[in-house]
Amino acid sequence: MLDFARAGAAVGGTSATLEKTRVLAAYLRSLEDDDLRRAAIFMTGRPFGPSKRSTLGLGWSALSKVVGAISGRDDDDLQRIFRKHSDLGDWAGEALEGRTQNEDVSLAEVEATLEAIRTSRGASKAAPLEKLLRRLHPEAARFAVKVISSEMRIGLSEGLVEAAIAEAFGVPVTQVKRVHLITGDIGETAVRVKHGHIETSTVTLFQPVRFMLASPVETAAEGFARMGAEKVWTEEKYDGVRCQLHYADGRVELFSRDLKETTSAFPELAGNALKLGHEVLFDGEVLAHRDGRVLRFFELQHRLGRKKVTSELRNEVPVVLVIFDLLYLDGRPLLDEPLRERRRLLEGLGVGHPFLLARLEEATSPADLDRIFADTRERGHEGLMVKDPESPYTPGRRGLAWLKLKRPLATLDVVVTAVEWGHGKRKGVLSDYTFAVKDTATGRLVNVGKAYTGLTDAEIAEMTTRFLSITVDDRGWARVVKPEVVLEVAFDSIQHSGRHASGYALRFPRIVRIRDDKPVEEIDTLERVAELYERYFGAPTAEKLSEVASPPGPASGRGRPPHKVRR
């Protein structure tokens, strides 16, 4: 751990990116596979790779108690040191100077401690942390705390870690990025690159592949134009949770959108996969589904996040997997095959309940797409996926081969940055959430609104506990929280506003749902807010007027199909 800390300190000690890369590359090159995997993950400020549930559930107060106890310093002293650094790791490093045992602790031991913290509950999380920090050299403790608090603050972006891996093993950085796109795991990427496994169309079963994503479009015409194909395929946009299913030789694993293993959440899918008779990797959406009907997302939510799925719950909310892609079949990776071929092979498998295939249609004109869109809305789906049948599967990319056509007034995915105590009925719970989108120009989060409706009392109670544990600044009536809770919000309109740093405010925002499946990196951007503003709420422009006047175009209004059926 001390070598890791020294490398980290050297990276933080220079502002020249080439030097940062060189230092980190030299360190990574010196490591055995397992340590390489750990170090690459830790350097990006994460305690775990993506396949583990990554929250340690250790708040600032537990951490400060432990550091206080080991250092023997009083609160004033600890606060003085904190004010000097305003950084948890640097604070812990200085507070612990001369107060620990300076033992040589391996990265494996640090990882085991992180795992022990993750799996212990409540107050017992402190014990493994204290044991570790007592043993570490203060410099190593400084970096252990940086990893634990997920804030390295040494000027090292994920891109620089990729560059260092490239330099360490003499591979072009573009190839490292491509491997990383597939694995979604910087540690696994480092090990693959080290061994020259950079063939990016390779799929290894039970190693999750990053999901292919879709770009949003507002109208059928735009969808057609952006795809630039004569024929496009459409599938319903199912409102469930994304899922990857891997099966071979009696072993099944399921992964969620953020590449965490979720096999135990869906025992009926895992159980039935054992009867598939082929080695497969499916990409699809899990839906709550009973008597041939899709249930509302709300019902599926009852099953999500449960550690144990009882048979009552399975009966109450049965699930199916609607498969829309096949990435591997009997020893053959299919990423580079066109969608047309992947679908043909998928249909050839003849899968049965609880596996269904996505409903597929073909459109040859925007009018066709409009009609299918209206039909899909009639069937109760939130929108349509438009796919290029000739496209390969590109993991992790939000390209133009997959488009999503949603209702005209799209919802936004945002992250909560601050919360406030509620009033009246909501007294004693944190119920008012200020949320932000990402400003890609600066990389910062900028607030765009505040929501207090949409969640049930039970959800609010649960969120209160969560927000208390991720508070970074307690201001009495309000708390600044770590930006990690992603919400989908609906709203009536967008206004220019001086109140928020974004320059915009969403009017009447309401929470549609908590998006625990969506990583913060994928929330909506300020550009998207600006784009929606221009399109729907800015001053009317000639283009906008003609769009409304000449069909096809989006109609507003809830409860009716947004597109007229034209045949």
Compare residues 162 and 325 and give the one whose CB is closer to ligand AMP.
Answer: 325
Shortest distance (Å) from residue 401 CB to ligand AMP: 11
Nearer to ligand AMP, 146 or 404 (CB): 404
Least distance in angstroms from the C-beta of 297 to ligand AMP: 11
- Runs of H (alpha helix) within 441-511: 457-469
Q: Which is nearer to ligand AMP, 342 or 404 (CB)?
A: 404
**Contact call for residues 332 and 345 (beta carbons, < 8 A):** no
Nearer to ligand AMP, 213 or 349 (CB): 213
How many other C-beta atoms are found inside a 10 Å radius of the C-beta of residue 456?
Answer: 10
End-to-end Cα distance, the chain: 67
For residue 380, the minimal CB distance to ligand AMP (Å) is 13
Task: Find the shortest distance in angstroms from Cβ 21 to ligand AMP.
Answer: 32
Residues paired with 419 in a beta bridge: 433, 479
Beta-bridged to residue 293, according to DSSP, are 290
| Nearer to ligand AMP (CB atom), residue 221 or residue 321 | 321
**Cβ(400)–Cβ(227) below 8 Å:** yes
Task: Tell me the two tokens of residue 404.
Answer: 């999503």
Measured CA angle at 187 (ends 274, 1), to 5 deg:
130
Beta-bridge partner residues of 404:
216, 385
Our answer to whether residue 275 is catalytic in this structure is no
Read off the DSSP letter of residue 103. Answer: B
Give yes or no for a contact between 141 and 93, defined as CB atoms under 8 angstroms apart: yes
Going by C-beta distance under 8 Å and a sequence separation of 6 or more, which residues neighbour residue 16? none
Binding site for ligand AMP (CB under 6 A): 211, 214, 235, 237-238, 242, 257, 285, 324, 358, 385, 404
Active-site option among 146, 237, 438, 450: 237
Instruction: Copy the structure tokens of residue 310.
Output: 């009882």
- Residue 15: CB atoms within 10 A of its CB come to 8
Q: How many CA atoms lie within 13 A of 561 on its CB side?
A: 19
* Local structure of residue 208 (DSSP, 8 states): P
| Residue partners of 192: CB distance under 8 A and separation at least 6 | 179, 183, 198
Q: How many CB atoms lie within 10 A of CB 372?
A: 23
Choice between 191 and 437, CB closer to ligand AMP: 437
In the bound state with ligand AMP, the residue whose beta carbon lies nearer, of 143 and 211, is: 211
Minimum distance of ligand AMP from residue 257's CB (angstroms): 6
Active site residues: 237
